[in-house]
Chains A and B, each alone.
Chain A
């Protein structure tokens, strides 16, 4: 199965890099020429696990994944949701032992690239190296924001914040239109990401619906009043450091 589409600017990794800076033709071609082994993985499967020593990294081409850690007695904390174009374990290029696990939330198509090929790409294209470096810094900024969100915001605002973040990130890779996106994340997964119970997730979602801040149809999320949701989520997208404007642009 080929990634997303035949048009090169639709390749998720190209689209992701293009959300940071405009690639030259050479750079775009080098990304497209990466020897990528594409695999389709069913939902709720680990792609990599904490403790692994991978010799390759992967890009998400299609579908949603989460990065998580577990307590000793088996409680899961989701520390990030990853979307097409993301490379959740690119850190393994430098850090030999993984300190995170990555699991699919939906059926996913992922492209594995050997570390050797990634090193080669980085050596030949310093701007792409810089982009990967920048991505890990932005990831760090997002983790800091999540600590603030989970540690200090009330559940209602916490949920509003995470929905704002997901919409802005999905828009940056052309997976949201205006204020509508497909968001196949379950209430159990939101609970594990927000550090609250599933019952409480359900309550705050119902409150957000009742307040007219969100509408849901199946896995479709519609945000009728973006400004109010942003206000409820105390959301300022600066920490995502996107090249382009966010959802309000």
Chain B
């Protein structure tokens, strides 16, 4: 799946640049927040703040970088196809 990113600021209190994630039809898939280096749980990682559709995920995973996000989204999309 071709994904695009758009920088955004999310009002979570941290100063880092966050990302909106779109699919190839420019539909919003997820809001990703980069956690600060001082974060006690996953410093510097990307956090799925909110996902839509197939990415709505109760466990809110974190990712080392944006390519890990892409891998995860592609995997979820495949899971989605096989399920339907």
State the A residues within 8 Å of B (CB): 75, 187, 195-203, 206
A199 touches B58 (CB 8 A): no
Please give, as numbers and ranges, the residues of chain B lying within 8 Å of A198 by CB-CB distance: 41-42
State the B residues within 8 Å of A (CB): 12-13, 35, 39-42, 47, 58-60, 62
Give the total number of A-B pairs whose CB atoms are below 8 A apart: 26
Nearest residue (CB) in B for A198 is B41
A202 touches B58 (CB 8 A): no
A199 touches B59 (CB 8 A): no
Main secondary structure of the interface of B (DSSP, over half): loop
A202 touches B40 (CB 8 A): yes
Nearest residue (CB) in A for B12 is A203
B40 touches A200 (CB 8 A): no
Please give, as numbers and ranges, the residues of chain B lying within 8 Å of A199 by CB-CB distance: 35, 39, 41-42, 47, 60, 62
A9-B62 Cα distance, complex, nearest whole Å: 48
Best-buried of A196, A197, A201, A203 by chain B (most CB within 10 Å): A197
Please give, as numbers and ranges, the residues of chain A lying within 8 Å of B41 by CB-CB distance: 187, 198-199, 201-202
B59 touches A75 (CB 8 A): yes
A187-B62 Cα distance, complex, nearest whole Å: 15
Q: A197-B60, A202-B41 are in contact. List 18 more A-B contacts (CB 8 A).
A: A75-B58, A75-B59, A187-B40, A187-B41, A195-B58, A196-B60, A197-B59, A198-B41, A198-B42, A199-B41, A199-B42, A199-B47, A199-B60, A199-B62, A200-B60, A201-B41, A203-B13, A206-B40
Best-buried of B12, B35, B41, B62 by chain A (most CB within 10 Å): B41
Nearest residue (CB) in A for B62 is A199
Can you sample 7 A-B contacts with CB below 8 Å? A199-B39, A199-B41, A199-B47, A199-B60, A201-B41, A202-B41, A206-B40
Give chain A nearest CB distance to B50 CB in angstroms: 11
